[in-house]
Amino acid sequence: MAIKFPEGFLWGGATAANQFEGAYNEDGKGLSIQDIMPHGIKAPLTDEPTEDNMKLIGIDFYHRYKEDIKLFAEMGFKTFRLSIAWSRIFPNGDDKEPNEKGLQFYDNVFDELAKYGIEPLVTMSHYEPPLNLVLKYNGWYNRKLVGFFETFVKTICERYKNKVKYWLTFNEVDSMIRHPYTTGGLIEDRFPGIKWNQVIFQAMHHQFVASALATKICHEIISDSMVGCMLTKLTYYPYSCKPEDVLQAQQDMRGTYCYSDTQVFGEYPAYLLAKFKNEGVEIVKEPGDDEVMKKYPVDFVSFSYYMSSCSAASREGLDTAVGNTVTAVKNPYLPSSEWGWQIDPIGLRISMVDLYDRYRKPLFIVENGLGAKDVVLPDGTIDDQYRIDYFDCHFKEMLNAIEIDGVECLGYTSWGCIDIVSESTKQMSKRYGFIYVDADDYGKGTYKRIPKKSFYWYKKVIETNGACLFED
């Protein structure tokens, strides 16, 4: 019997509106926080959108969605993860009525996906609150954003109830602690006299309540819908077997799990409550918050996985490595990408087992991939064997988790299935896609789409449901 993935496994790819749509000011769209951060998470903000912000253009999916979806269909995608830009639907976030042209755009996209039998997987909020909600309300610190988000969710669920079954509430909800502006629209100097961690965790509480309400709304409007949380799966190994290093790894893992724990179990874990107490954080709640969170937990757990890291009680004398929004102790046993991210396929299996054992809910891997500098050869092809090698070993470990470890996994969407503007560095040259987009870091190029070698390889993987991975 051929070795392959379970029947109905949802193979596909993942994107985010702010990284590939472009058309930042067309058809009534309002500004999002991304429109004034041209050079990455840690770079200064601008007062207005500037030409050096690659995200204003993205890869022009807004005008090229039919062409791109046709290519996804050619690969055989079963699902496609995308996000809805909140400011395309409610330009200011607090508008009384939605923007019809924005709603129609996503109607068109979902209809195009349906034409090819591709199931949408939609993130409600992916790193781009409307800018007005930051300037007028101080972002997710303000309780009013829960209500604004409810309105947004009701609008999109009602509009797309016959087109979208799978939903995610907040992308990498845990990232609020690492980049609070991108996730929560929080700017530190707007909170004089308030402890910064108090601001962050209060905003986090509002997102937890909003996520539970979104789950409630989704289930009420779309009877067969499934709503997931989405976390950054940071996997930490103790650097040594010294008890101090093991303890540090455990503490670091808690720093990842506390956010998904809250969304899955519907209440704050004891260790997070202890952290609040020890750090003098007092979460302001409204009556009914705890009950809502408890009553409407998520249906499945989705996550991003790119790399693992090591934890040590002391980093003195140890090398460090960058990764997905973190810098941690470098693992001497692992290779690294061009951007220093360590490559650890077994870490994906470990992550899946840990999550499934912890939550006993279906998993969905919604981000994984390799950022690399691709070169167009003189004959017009792109030989990205390094990307194929990366996916090959990750897919095999993914199947090990399913078949050997008994993990239930709904599907897999590779990050940046078509080249998009990277989130951390705002570059085009850091490419993840199976499809090359002819644009450089300055927005110069034809924006022509060119399938890479990995395009045809992934097509075969999907066509055989992974069986080709085990052929000689």
Catalytic positions, written as ranges:
172, 367
Residues 446 and 29: their CA atoms lie apart, in Å, by 25
Answer for the pair 207, 148: CB distance below 8 angstroms, yes or no: no
Tokens 């058809």, residue? 27
SS (H, E, C) 295-332: HCCCCEEEEECCCEEEECCCCCCCCEEECCCCEEECCC
Phi, psi (deg, nearest 5) at residue 463: -60, -40
> What stretch of H or E contains 385?
helix 385-403
Residue type, 196: W
Q: How many residues does the chain have?
A: 472
How large is the angle between the packed helices 453-463 and 385-403, nearest 10 degrees? 20
Residues 294 and 279: their CA atoms lie apart, in Å, by 25
Strand partners, 342: 336
> What stretch of H or E contains 205?
helix 196-221
Residues 19 and 22: their CA atoms lie apart, in Å, by 7
Answer for the pair 440, 60: CB distance below 8 angstroms, yes or no: no
Tokens 């009701």, residue? 154
Task: Label residue 232 left, alpha or beta by phi (over 0 means left) and psi (-120 to 50 means alpha).
Answer: beta
Residue type, 361: K
Phi, psi (deg, nearest 5) at residue 255: -65, -20
Bridging pattern class, strands 235-238 and 79-83: unpaired
Q: How far is CA 206 from the centre of its chain?
A: 19
**Best CA proximity match to 332, nearest among 310, 306, 305:** 310
Torsion sign, CA atoms 352, 356, 358, 364? positive
Answer for the pair 414, 422: CB distance below 8 angstroms, yes or no: no
Strand partners, 266: none
Count of H helices and E strands in the chain?
A: 14, 14
- With the CA atoms of 236, 240, 243 and 246 taken in that order, what torsion angle do they form, in degrees rounded to the nearest 10? 10
